Amino acid sequence: MLRVAEIFTSIQGEGDYQGRPANFIRLAGCNLDCGFCDEPIHKQPGTPMTEEEIVDELSKNLSLTVITGGEPTVQDLTKLLDMIQKIGQEIILETNGYKVTREYMSKAWVCVSPKGSLNNLPEYYNELKILVDTYSDIDINFLKQEAYNGTVISLQPLTGMTNDKENIAKAIKLCIENDFRYSPRLQNYLGVK
């Protein structure tokens, strides 16, 4: 049984899979309380659903499911990942890195968007999605080493603030200078969830 904030279909707007149609499972709960959180719906208690009920609601004509939150790894995802794999869908696990296990990474593309220090990253991930704002320094040398080791690096400007243009400009500049991916939150430009 998992606590679910919402299930919907849309276009993946962020990271390496940007532009692909997908099922989205937004789970309730988070281990953090970020002031810049763009999805406060996860703070609600959510609807208790079995993994079978969740999978029954997924569109079977899509080949991709994104599990997001809040922070999805505050709940045990093992059975859900197994069931989604059994229906033949690829899985993206969007996480802040709280409780990522080797088992999760063997079943899903793990995209970590750390909130705070890069020193607290989990051991297992495929992609780092770094929020960029004008006030924070980014450890470019660390990210370059991660990219060299095969990790996809996506830079996403922090938007919805008074300095959006500056954040976007900084993210674009860093992407061009370092050959990182730019992740613009495509869903906002398209006007979809």
The domain limits of the chain are 2-190
Which pLDDT score, from 0 to 100, does residue 193 have? 67
How confident is the model over 130-147, as pLDDT tens digits? 999 887 888 999 999 999
Which pLDDT score, from 0 to 100, does residue 182 have? 94
CB 124: neighbour CB atoms within 10 A?
A: 15
For the full predicted model, state whether its pTM sits above 0.85: yes
Which pLDDT score, from 0 to 100, does residue 63 have? 97
How confident is the model over 18-61, as pLDDT tens digits? 999 999 999 998 866 666 656 667 677 899 999 999 999 999 99
- Residue 158: pLDDT band by 50, 70, 90 thresholds? confident
CB 18: neighbour CB atoms within 10 A?
A: 17
Q: Which long-range contacts (CB under 8 A, 24 or more apart) does 99-103 make?
A: 99/73, 99/74, 100/73, 100/124, 100/125, 103/78
Torsions phi, psi of 183, nearest 5?
A: -120, 95
Which pLDDT score, from 0 to 100, does residue 192 have? 65
Which pLDDT score, from 0 to 100, does residue 163 have? 75
Cβ proximity of 100 and 92 under 8 Å: no
Which pLDDT score, from 0 to 100, does residue 162 have? 72
Which pLDDT score, from 0 to 100, does residue 184 have? 84
Which pLDDT score, from 0 to 100, does residue 29 have? 87
Average pLDDT over residues 59-70: 94
Cβ proximity of 99 and 124 under 8 Å: no
Cβ proximity of 24 and 59 under 8 Å: no
By CB neighbour count within 10 A (0-12 exposed, 13-18 middle, 19+ buried), where does 13 fall? Answer: buried
- Residue 164: pLDDT band by 50, 70, 90 thresholds? confident
Sign of CA dihedral 168, 120, 84, 107: positive
Domain 2-190 adopts which CATH fold? TIM Barrel (3.20.20)
Which pLDDT score, from 0 to 100, does residue 169 have? 94
How confident is the model over 88-133, as pLDDT tens digits? 999 999 998 888 989 999 999 999 998 877 878 999 999 999 999 8
